[in-house]
Amino acid sequence: MNSVLLHQYSVLVDFLAGTLGTDYEVTLDDLSRKNPCTVAIANGYISGRSVGAPLTKLAMKLIKERSYEDESYRLNYRSISSSGRVLRCSTFFLKNERGALQGLLGINFDDHRYMELSGKLFALCHPDNYVNDNISVHALRKTDVPFLSSEEGSLYENVNSEIRSALYAVIRSSELPASRLKKAERAEIIRILNKKGIFILKGAIPLVAAKLSCSSASVYRYLSELKKEEQREYLQQHEDEELNSILDSISTGEAVESIGTSETYRSTESASEEREREAEERRREEDGEEGF
């Protein structure tokens, strides 16, 4: 990124921060340098970063995915600050005339003040015990897992974000307090997380267990049940496909050959079973003779 563009984008960082307000962090990352880093930042207290900070894991992930080749920007994804606050993030890809990525312009919104305000409004219209026992937006965002930094940060961001989404989907639909999850609700949450591939990540199970107030062993049991269910569905699907295949063969005049093949298989299977029974009887007779 040449010095003219760098200056213009740095001014843009201050302009956006001044326009949006103190709850918005605006960052500029220069990728054309030997060591890519943040070269301009406003309201850096939100993430705890400053000028010269290395690229975040999320920034490196965006670059690795090469989504900038088909997109001009990425909107409204989640990250987490060094203090554990959830941020709503958007990134604009800065490219040269050939489409090569030169930098990233990021906007990170910290809505914790609005969350606190929503909690106070909620408390105005309900008794204290109802507020404490029932789920709210704030409760959904609160984590029971401590913030994980450096190498573990990426795992925490991904897992905790998906847990909140799954928890909200299940609890909102059933209107149950988050602290009183039943087995069915907990199983549904784990099913959603498993479908999204969360448990492929190393260390995800303890995080999920802590968030759902159960043991890691319980999570393993839920996953085992899901695997058995998937196997049953797989077998049922293939049985249905085999039946449909036979029905199709009947309609095309190939039923006799199919049935003949099945009969041959069953005959072979019966002969094999008969030989096994005879061998077993001989072993029993020999064992009986040795015993006497």
Question: For a pLDDT cut of 90, what percent of the chain falls above it?
Answer: 20
Closest by Cα among 176, 172, 124, 119 to 142 = 119
Neighbours of 19 (CB within 10 A): 9
Q: Is the pLDDT of residue 56 over 50?
A: yes
Q: Name the band, by pLDDT with cuts 50, 70 and 90, for residue 284.
A: low
Out of 20-24, 78-82, 147-151, least confident range: 147-151
For tokens 């999850």, what's the residue? 181
Residue 181, amino acid = L
Q: Is the pLDDT of residue 30 over 90?
A: yes
Better-scored residue on pLDDT, 117 or 243: 117
User: What is the pLDDT of the chain when averaged over all its residues?
Assistant: 74
Q: What is the mean pLDDT of residues 186-214?
A: 79
DSSP H/E element including 260: helix 255-291
Which domains, and CATH codes, for the chain? Answer: 3-110 (3.30.450.20), 143-225 (no CATH)
Q: Indicate the SS3 state at residue 215.
A: coil
- Dump pLDDT digits (tens) for 85-101: 788 899 999 999 888 89
For tokens 């604009």, what's the residue? 92
Model pTM greater than 0.75?
Answer: no
Question: What is the side-by-side order of every strand in the sheet holding 24-30?
Answer: 37-42, 24-30, 101-110, 86-95, 73-80
- Dump pLDDT digits (tens) for 17-29: 999 999 999 999 9
Closest by Cα among 216, 232, 222 to 195 = 222
Q: Name the band, by pLDDT with cuts 50, 70 and 90, for residue 107.
A: very high
Closest by Cα among 138, 137, 155 to 146 = 155
The pLDDT value given to residue 206: 82
Out of 30-34, 48-52, 199-203, 231-235, least confident range: 199-203
Q: Is the pLDDT of residue 235 over 50?
A: yes
